[in-house]
Amino acid sequence: MHIFYTPQIANGQCTLSEEESKHCIKVLRLVPGDKVLLIDGVGGYHTAEIADPNPKRCTLTITNTINNYEQRPYRIHIAIAPTKNIDRTEWFVEKAVEIGIDEITMLVSQHSERKNVNLDRIEKIIVSAMKQSVKAYKPVLNDITPFDKFVKTPRDGRKLIAHCIESEKHPLKAMVDDCNEYTVLIGPEGDFSPEEVALAAANGYSPIDLGPYRLRTETAALVACHTINLLKQ
Amino acid sequence: MHIFYTPQIANGQCTLSEEESKHCIKVLRLVPGDKVLLIDGVGGYHTAEIADPNPKRCTLTITNTINNYEQRPYRIHIAIAPTKNIDRTEWFVEKAVEIGIDEITMLVSQHSERKNVNLDRIEKIIVSAMKQSVKAYKPVLNDITPFDKFVKTPRDGRKLIAHCIESEKHPLKAMVDDCNEYTVLIGPEGDFSPEEVALAAANGYSPIDLGPYRLRTETAALVACHTINLLKQ
């Protein structure tokens, strides 16, 4: 069955966005009565039937709902300095949504070569990966944030920073325990600066290593995301 | 320091390939006496100096050698049905080399939409990722192989198959133990066929699941590779 994303569900009815409506009616040529799957981004997994096949605002009637669909009992937030080549960051986003992530922040760090990101494009990648891997919860995507502001913001749970500067670090796998909230900072190609590492430490971030290999920014972010998921499952 | 790959080392000397020579002399403009790093693909990690700056066959003198550089005490072989969009398979190869892999086979399975792969291009991606992540061992890349032939070939260690057909499966993480050799089969977008799953079982392959998420082919392959590395470290 085809799957659509819509946050707009009320009273057993929903309306697809203009883009999803066009895809549903013009491309897939679905007609009234056809059954589809819907994810709403807040944990709802629905079956529905086409009611009004309007190619700009297609409406559907919900026939069944499962709430809290595949809800994870833990939360992962990755804050990553986006890569110079944005494809690599976009790839990370797609894969992290498939594997399981709750919040993504794009960081601006001292050594960042990239200080801006097209967040609309990242949102589309998130929705596409949600549909592909049937995720009913939509990860939060935050606006691009300066490193200093990010680390000074109070957060619950385990706060971790991955960097390559020589220092005492804990393997990430040793830091995954019964805590259910993890925030991991991943630096740019040129790594975090010593001042940033010190600022993170002063704000309660523990340095971690991600194994005995040298990883690109986007690989490090995905390895962190997968390690926490694997060990919490 | 710049890093080059060359399998041609003998008597404390080596010659770079035409492509590496051009990059070394014409692009980087290195001159006699300049120091570089070399990886030889069989575990050797060398420091060397430019001897003859020939832009087609640059020769170098080895000044120091570390053998068995970062050798892993276990072995991972992923056999993957390449994806319709080859970029996705190439991405898997790059990331697997970064994280750690020993052998890759491209499989042709009943539901494969792609039955050929440009292996020269995959070789280049392997070497590029080796240099980027400083891996002294070059993973073996096998020619494209029919599924039946692959599973009937005798192999040591744990033989595992990831598929989506409903059946009793073991989580991969429960299958990683004191065994030091792992072969994992990853199917195409349309999954392995029931006949292939049965043939694999008859040849000693155990079905595994990779967690509670629906993963694309290339994501499944990377998750398998990272899970084994993480648990064996």
Q: What is the pLDDT of residue B8?
A: 81
Nearest CB neighbour to A211, from listed B132, B173, B230: B230
Which residues on chain B are in Cβ contact (under 8 Å) with A230?
173, 211, 227, 230
pTM: 0.94
Residues in B touching A70 (Cβ below 8 Å) = 212
What's the angle, vertex CA A122, arms to CA A136 and CA A75, rounded to 5? Answer: 45
Whether residue B213 is predicted with pLDDT greater than 90 in this model: the reply is no
Please tell me which of the candidates B70, B213, B219 has its beta carbon nearest to residue A212. B70
Minimum distance, in Å, between the CA of residue A222 and any CA atom of chain B: 10
- Residue A157 carries which side chain, given as an amino acid letter? G
Residue A213 has a pLDDT of 81
Mutate to test the interface with A, among B87, B135, B169, B230 (most CBs of A within 10 A): B230
Question: Looking at the predicted structure, is the pLDDT value of residue B1 above 90?
Answer: no
- Extract the tokens encoding B80: 């993957």
Which among B100, B212, B226 is the nearest to A70, CB-wise? B212
Structural class in CATH, domain A75-232: alpha beta
Which of B98, B109, B16 is closest to B58 using CA atoms?
B16
Residues of A in contact with B222 (CB under 8 A): 95, 222
Percent of the residues in chain B that have a pLDDT greater than 70, as a whole number: 100
Segments of chain A with pLDDT less than 50: none
Spatial contact of B156 and B205, defined as CB atoms under 8 Å apart = no
Residues of chain B with CATH 2.40.240.20: 3-66
Q: Which of A70, A100, A223 sits opposite B226 (nearest CB)?
A: A223
Render pLDDT for A82-140 as a digit per residue (tens, 0 to 9).
999 999 999 999 999 999 999 999 999 999 999 999 999 999 999 999 999 999 999 99
CA distance A80 to A221: 7
Which residues of chain B does A84 touch, with a Cβ-Cβ cutoff of 8 Å? Answer: none
d(CA A111, CA A113): 6
Interface of B with A (CB under 8 A): 70, 91, 95, 98-100, 132-134, 171, 173, 211-216, 219, 222-223, 226-227, 229-230, 233
DSSP characters over chain A: --EEE-S-EETTEEE--HHHHHIIIIIS---TT-EEEEE-BBS-EEEEEEEE--SSS-EEEEEEEESSTT--SSEEEEEE---SSHHHHHHHHHHHHHH--SEEEEEE-TT-S-----HHHHHHHHHHHHHHHT-SBPPEEEEEEEHHHHHHS---SEEEEE--SSS--EEHHHH-SS--EEEEEE--TT---HHHHHHHHHTTPEEEE--SS---HHHHHHHHHHHHHHHH-
CB within 8 Å: A214 and B134: yes
pLDDT, position A158: 97
Question: Higher model confidence: residue B213 or residue A3?
Answer: A3
Q: What is the fold of A3-66?
A: Ribosomal Protein L25; Chain P (2.40.240)
The yes-or-no verdict on residue B124 having pLDDT over 90 is yes
Give the span between the Cα atoms of B55 and B72, in whole angstroms.
35
For the segment B131-157, the average pLDDT, to the nearest whole number, is 96
| Chain A residues closer than 8 Å to B134 by CB | 214
Would you mind telling me the total number of residues written for chain A in this entry? 233
Interface contacts A/B by beta carbons within 8 Å: 66
- Rounded to the nearest angstrom, the minimum Cα separation between B132 and chain A is 8
Amino acid at A27: V
Q: How far is B146 from chain A (nearest CA, A)?
A: 28
Host H or E run for residue B127: helix B119-133
Length of chain B: 233
Nearest CA in chain A to B72: A212
Return the closest-CA partner of residue A107 out of A98, A117, A120.
Answer: A117
- pLDDT tens digits, one per residue of B96-114: 999 999 999 999 999 999 9
User: Model ipTM?
Assistant: 0.92
- Inter-CA distances, A86 with A63, A123, A188, Å: 40, 14, 12
Question: Six-digit token pair at B60?
Answer: 């170098």
Domain ranges in chain A with CATH number 3.40.1280.10:
75-232
Is the pLDDT at B214 greater than 90, yes or no?
A: no
Residue B148: Cβ within 10 Å count? 16
Q: Which residues of A touch B233 (CB under 8 A)?
A: 171, 173, 211-212
Burial of A16 (0-12, 13-18, 19+ CB in 10 A): buried
Collapsed DSSP state (helix, strand, coil) of residue B185: strand
What dihedral angle (degrees, nearest 10) is formed by the CA atoms of B149, B153, B157, B159?
20
In this structure, the number of other CB atoms found within 10 A of the CB of residue B181 comes to 14
Q: Which residues of B touch A228 (CB under 8 A)?
A: none
Contact between B211 and A230 using a beta-carbon 8 Å cutoff: yes
* Chain centre distance of CA A32: 33
Residue A152 C-alpha, separation from nearest chain B C-alpha, in angstroms = 31
Note whether A227 contacts B230, CB cutoff 8 Å.
yes
